[in-house]
Amino acid sequence: MWLEAPTYISDVLQESQLDLDESSLARLRRGAAAGPLTGEPQAELARSLPVVSIGEPETWPLSALYDVDAMPPMIRASMKDADFYLVRLACSFRPVHRESQIEWARLAIELHQDEEGRQPIAEAQHPVEVNQEIQRHTKFTLSPSLTFQPVEVSVGEIAFGFDYPELRPMISAAGYRTSKPNWDYFAVSGSAVQGGKWMHLLVKTPRGTSAVHADLSLAADVRTKGAIVRAVLRNNRAREAACLRTRLWG
């Protein structure tokens, strides 16, 4: 099965303006912020923060993405002892024109145990590292060793794969083989942190794992009003929490 690249986030889990985190708020309240931030009204600063969207994760059982005969033997053997799911994550960034710029952002996901205490982990992540030029219309598939690899043949010659409209540097993934994977996005010369981002996660979990939930969170360093502040996406339904809970499957 070939998973076409989305052009927009069709199912939004949450879309809202970022909020200053507690450390940035404390600096402002003390009046101890350096340089141009000193004396800036908190409300005015908050209005310049970017709008961020997080999409509802899309999940496919790995067994549904392959015809049995086309599945590499090593992958088929791995599925005797564990269940595997492909999860697609999405977020987008909209800085306020000429008022804010995202210097760094992190999308993190925490995978929770099911009711029987079975713990899913991130078996593979993509993208892992993008540190050079912008990559457009890139295609990837799953290797026999359960890692994501570039596709160098025509789409019709592979059993399963996905693509991206583009990958902008710099991107760095972490949390491999843990329950808390994440992706970092960095602004570099000629490439700002803005627009839609798509990520893929291969989740490995003990056989028979039932409903699995995950928490999504996003934090960013934003340059605005001549200084850099830390901002977070808060849950609209629970303003004190900075994470969004969603069901991945089950």
DSSP 123-176: EEEE--EE-SS-EEEEEEEE-TTS-EEE--S-GGG-SSEEEEEEE-S-EEEE-T
33 contacts: CB under 8 Å, gap ≥ 6: 27, 40, 227
**What per-residue confidence (pLDDT) applies to 102?**
97
Alpha-carbon distance of 234 to 32, in angstroms, equals 25
Has residue 161 been placed in a domain? Answer: yes
**What per-residue confidence (pLDDT) applies to 153?**
65
**What per-residue confidence (pLDDT) applies to 181?**
98
Alpha-carbon distance of 111 to 245, in angstroms, equals 10
Q: Which residue has the tokens 């000193």?
A: 38
At 39, the amino acid letter reads G
Has residue 247 been placed in a domain? Answer: no
Reference 247, options 210, 204, 217, 218; nearest CA is 210
The structure tokens listed for 100 are 């804010």
Q: Determine which helix (DSSP H) or strand (DSSP E) holds 92, and give its type and residue range.
A: strand 82-94
**What per-residue confidence (pLDDT) applies to 31?**
62
**What per-residue confidence (pLDDT) applies to 67?**
81
Alpha-carbon distance of 125 to 79, in angstroms, equals 18
**What per-residue confidence (pLDDT) applies to 97?**
87
User: Residue 50 carries which DSSP code?
Assistant: P
Alpha-carbon distance of 75 to 220, in angstroms, equals 37
- Show contacts of 33-41: CB within 8 Å, 24+ apart: 33/227, 34/227, 35/226, 35/227, 36/225, 36/226, 36/227, 37/225, 37/226, 37/227, 37/229, 40/225
Reference 146, options 130, 131, 126, 124; nearest CA is 124
Has residue 163 been placed in a domain? Answer: yes
Tally of structural domains, the chain: 1
Alpha-carbon distance of 172 to 186, in angstroms, equals 9
Has residue 245 been placed in a domain? Answer: no
Query: Which range marks the domain in which residue 17 is found?
Result: 2-205+214-232
| 38 alpha-carbon distance from chain centroid | 33
Has residue 56 been placed in a domain? Answer: yes
> What are φ and ψ of residue 150, in 5° steps?
-65, 150
**What per-residue confidence (pLDDT) applies to 33?**
46
pLDDT tens, N- to C-terminus, the chain (250 residues):
889 889 899 999 999 999 988 877 777 666 644 455 545 556 677 789 999 999 999 999 999 998 877 888 888 899 999 999 999 999 999 999 888 999 999 999 999 999 999 999 999 999 999 998 888 889 999 998 999 999 876 666 678 999 999 999 999 999 999 999 999 999 998 899 999 999 999 999 999 999 999 999 999 999 987 888 999 998 876 655 678 999 999 9
Has residue 237 been placed in a domain? Answer: no
pTM, full prediction: 0.89
Has residue 246 been placed in a domain? Answer: no
Has residue 65 been placed in a domain? Answer: yes
